[in-house]
Amino acid sequence: MRTMTRQKYSGHFTKIVMGGVDTIRTLKLLGKWSANRAVGRRRPLIAVFSMTHYCNFYCPMCPFGDADKEGQMALARRKDLTTEQWKAVFDKVSKYCVWAIVEGGEPTSRPDFMELVKYLHGLKMPVTLISNCSLLHTIDLDELRKHIQFVTCSIDSTYEESYCKVRGVNPHMYRRVMDNLHLLTEHKVSHYFNSVITKYNTQEFIDQTYFDRARELGASAVSFTFVEDRSDVDYSLLPDRQTMNKVCESILDYMGKQKEKGGGPQVMIPPEYFRQILEHGRGIFDECGVWKSIFVNGDGTVMVPCWKFNGPENTYSLLEHSVDEIWSAPQWDIARTCHDCEVLGCIWYSSQPVSTFARNYMRGLGKIISQERPELAEAV
């Protein structure tokens, strides 16, 4: 099996880039990752860079939605990594990770946003930008297109009223975002939608108008997660169980029709996610896969095993520690038995086999794995 795989590699050496992704680099890192895995050493494969503590939106499900924007800006000025510090972090992380997800706060609010994206591109890291899309009109989109794989548009509702409610913004901002989505289409920047389903936006999924409206806004694919309620607030944004079931049934119905007839945007989250929520009221996984991604906070820290265990004893700075040191920390053991994330799509995903994991934020990577390293496809 091993020899066959090696032979397969050599046959592909001339094909350096697949869908804009450097295949040789990706395969090298996947090989290193699985060799580590074989000796029981876990290391990250996907990088998530939370570029700033600042976001111009007010989403209640997100810590960056804080209403005190002046305080948040001051925090960002005080704690956000500088351009050079981010570059040093990118250098370290790029030795392990096949893909970079750039998010925030709102990453495009950083004045050096394009410089940092170009730097990642220079390191041959494919980049997914997750953005609320409200500032895209301030960016050179033709330049952006050259340096990223696609934009994941964080669009929780396609209707003005629900959108404004979920995101805590006014109708003027909603229209600005919609205009910016058209700009992405005009400038041929690949984009898809990622939506958090809360009690405020269930109707458009139940009546399936969400899909038509997403297509009209240029999204060829969509991904969702139910909201995972925050433990630091005393309100719940999750719809009741009956409504969640209606949403799941309707999305599964749409996926069935879409598979048969095509037409609307493709749903990037597998049907199992919705089936499990229908059946068990939550997503099911044996062991949390949060260790497969390195989530770097705006100040360069990493929390082990995740943000829910936020405390100085679990926080490591990438400016001071190596990835190897951080991934050898004893706190990773917490994730071996923790199942606290019940419906959070990204954690459900990362706890699934790698090929499933790769299908969501990293389109193109799944294809490389299934074509070049099929034995990895079922690795957990």
Task: Give yes or no for a cis peptide into 305 (omega within 30° of 0).
Answer: yes
Among 302, 347, 365, 369, binds ligand SF4 (CB under 6 A): 347
Among 29, 30, 33, 64, binds ligand SF4 (CB under 6 A): 64
Measured from the CB atom, the residue of 262 and 311 that comes closer to ligand SF4 is 311
- Asked whether 188 and 145 are in contact (CB, 8 A), the reply is yes
Alpha-carbon Rg for the chain in angstroms:
20
Among 21, 29, 46, 55, binds ligand SF4 (CB under 6 A): 55
Q: What's the min distance (Å) between Cβ of 234 and ligand SF4?
A: 19
In 10 A of CB 353, how many CB atoms?
14
Q: Which helix (H) or strand (E) holds 344?
A: none
- Asked whether 326 and 302 are in contact (CB, 8 A), the reply is yes
- Asked whether 224 and 196 are in contact (CB, 8 A), the reply is yes
Q: What's the min distance (Å) between Cβ of 295 and ligand SF4?
A: 10
Among 339, 353, 370, 379, binds ligand SF4 (CB under 6 A): 339
Sketch the per residue contact string, 257 through 296, with ligand SF4: x for CB under 6 A, - otherwise.
Answer: -------------------------------x-x------
Among 98, 153, 197, 306, binds ligand SF4 (CB under 6 A): 306
Span of 74-82, 99-107, 246-254, 322-330 interacting with ligand SF4 by CB under 6 A: 99-107
Measured from the CB atom, the residue of 264 and 283 that comes closer to ligand SF4 is 283
Q: Which helix (H) or strand (E) holds 338?
A: none
Separation of alpha carbons 80 and 86, rounded Å: 9
DSSP state, residue 204: H
341 binds ligand SF4 (CB under 6 A): yes
Separation of alpha carbons 74 and 77, rounded Å: 5
Span of 61-69, 75-83, 270-278, 362-370 interacting with ligand SF4 by CB under 6 A: 61-69
Measured from the CB atom, the residue of 181 and 288 that comes closer to ligand SF4 is 288
Find the length of the chain.
380
What is the token pair recorded at 155? 């669009």
Phi, psi of 24 (to 5 degrees): -65, -45
305 binds ligand SF4 (CB under 6 A): yes
Among 29, 59, 97, 164, binds ligand SF4 (CB under 6 A): 59
Q: Which helix (H) or strand (E) holds 364?
A: none
Measured from the CB atom, the residue of 57 and 174 that comes closer to ligand SF4 is 57
Separation of alpha carbons 3 and 275, rounded Å: 39
Measured from the CB atom, the residue of 8 and 230 that comes closer to ligand SF4 is 230
- Asked whether 117 and 127 are in contact (CB, 8 A), the reply is yes
In 10 A of CB 208, how many CB atoms?
15
Phi, psi of 99 (to 5 degrees): -145, 145
Measured from the CB atom, the residue of 43 and 167 that comes closer to ligand SF4 is 167
What is the token pair recorded at 108? 């495009």
Site for ligand SF4 in 127-156 (CB under 6 A): 132, 154
298 binds ligand SF4 (CB under 6 A): no
Among 27, 294, 335, 369, binds ligand SF4 (CB under 6 A): 335
The count of chain residues that interact with ligand SF4, using the rule CB under 6 A, is: 24
Residues lying near ligand SF4 in the complex (CB under 6 A) = 55, 57, 59, 62, 64-65, 104-106, 132, 154, 167, 288, 290, 305-306, 308, 334-335, 338-341, 347
